[in-house]
Amino acid sequence: MNARKPVRHVAIVGTGTIGGSWATHYLAQGFDVTATDPAPTAEAALRSYVETAWDAAASIGLAPGASPDRLRFTADLRQAVADADFVQENAPERPELKVRLYADIDDATPPETIIASSSSGITMSVIQAECRRPERTVIGHPFNPPHIVPLVEVVGGTKTAPQTIREAMSFYATIGKKPIHLKKELPGHVANRIQAALYREVVHLVQEGVLDVADSDDAVSWGPGLRWGVMGPHMLWHLGGGEGGIEHFMDTLMPRMVASWQELGTPEFTPELKEKIVGGVREEAGGRSVDELAARRDAMLSALLAVRAQYDPSGPPSAAAGHPAQEGP
């Protein structure tokens, strides 16, 4: 593999919700961004998204030189990636599309450029199948919205070079993300599988009439969700073990938890259950639009990140601190 250049120019391929959020984040981090998407209304929708999301991104911190004016758009894929130092792909989740798209991106980009996919369900081993340089392709899967939530799941395919994984991890860490390295490929990666497991039990409880939709949301967001916002489950169990810590928890409380796994439900997702959830969510939303609710979510997430930054030195760096991408040539 060729030596990497400092990343100064990022290409965004696919400008839907995830692509628009990634574009916002990279702009807020002080990069030049070129975006591409074949949809006829893509540019207008992207610029509108960035304008709407900018205040939330700014509340977390802007890097020196950060500006929405550094966004360019072209419908020509080859032109968009021709001089990119890093590519973040966000195309629809269709394997045959991803395979063709990656072959085209691989052919059009400089050979030292890392090509990262935001794919949530397709493995890189599948996506990189027809690339001439598959060693520089990697999954860089964000958690929505990427311009707010720091998590990025990094996992390579069978042909991805270990160097690519290390450099992707390092790059994401320098731009305010919290990358985690998945050592094995699996559909859905990790974070989506965790939330799917939780949601399965939530849906089961709603179906069984144990509680309604709004109360099920409160049971998560006002209980374990609050704790998960500051620590993960293993560390929380360590605290739950008292003076004996995780060893005491594993010896005395874990057996009961393991026994309870057999009681967890597997709901049958019927049309009736679907309507029950839809109706419950509409009632809980109380007439507020999706945009209104998203703005409220993002404001609270930004505030939570600010609080975490005061207490957690291992967290993502502040954008205002700058990163290697902004150094001069």
Q: Which CATH superfamily is domain 192-311 in?
A: N-(1-d-carboxylethyl)-l-norvaline Dehydrogenase; domain 2 (1.10.1040.10)
| pTM above threshold 0.85 | yes
Q: What is the number of other CB atoms lying within 10 angstroms of the CB of residue 285?
A: 13
Query: Would you give the distance in Å from CA 10 to the centre of its chain?
Result: 17
Per-residue pLDDT of the chain (329 residues; tens, 9 = 90+): 556 779 999 999 999 999 999 999 999 999 999 999 999 999 999 999 999 999 999 999 999 999 999 999 999 999 999 999 999 999 999 999 999 999 999 999 999 999 999 999 899 999 999 999 999 999 999 999 999 999 999 999 999 999 999 999 999 999 999 999 999 999 899 999 999 999 999 999 999 999 999 999 999 999 999 999 999 999 999 999 999 999 999 999 999 999 999 999 999 999 999 999 999 999 999 999 999 999 999 999 999 999 998 888 777 876 555 555 444 33
Nearest residue to 177 (alpha-carbon basis) of 185, 168, 186: 168
Topology of the domain covering 9-189+316-326: Rossmann fold (3.40.50)
State the pLDDT at residue 312.
81
Contact 139, 119 (CB under 8 A): yes
State the pLDDT at residue 1.
54
Radius of gyration in angstroms for the set of CA atoms belonging to the chain, rounded to a whole number: 21
Cα end-to-end span (Å), the chain: 22
State the pLDDT at residue 326.
44
Cis before residue 145, ω within 30 degrees of 0?
Answer: yes
Contact 156, 134 (CB under 8 A): no
State the pLDDT at residue 320.
53
- φ, ψ for residue 117 (rounded to 5)? -110, 140
Query: Residue type at 167?
Result: E
| Strands 32-36 and 71-73, bridge-based pairing | parallel
State the pLDDT at residue 315.
77
Q: In residues, how long is the chain? A: 329
State the pLDDT at residue 178.
96
State the pLDDT at residue 327.
45
State the pLDDT at residue 328.
36
State the pLDDT at residue 313.
74
State the pLDDT at residue 329.
32
State the pLDDT at residue 132.
97
Domain ranges of the chain: 9-189+316-326, 192-311
**Can you name the residues that pair with 306 across neighbouring β-strands?**
none
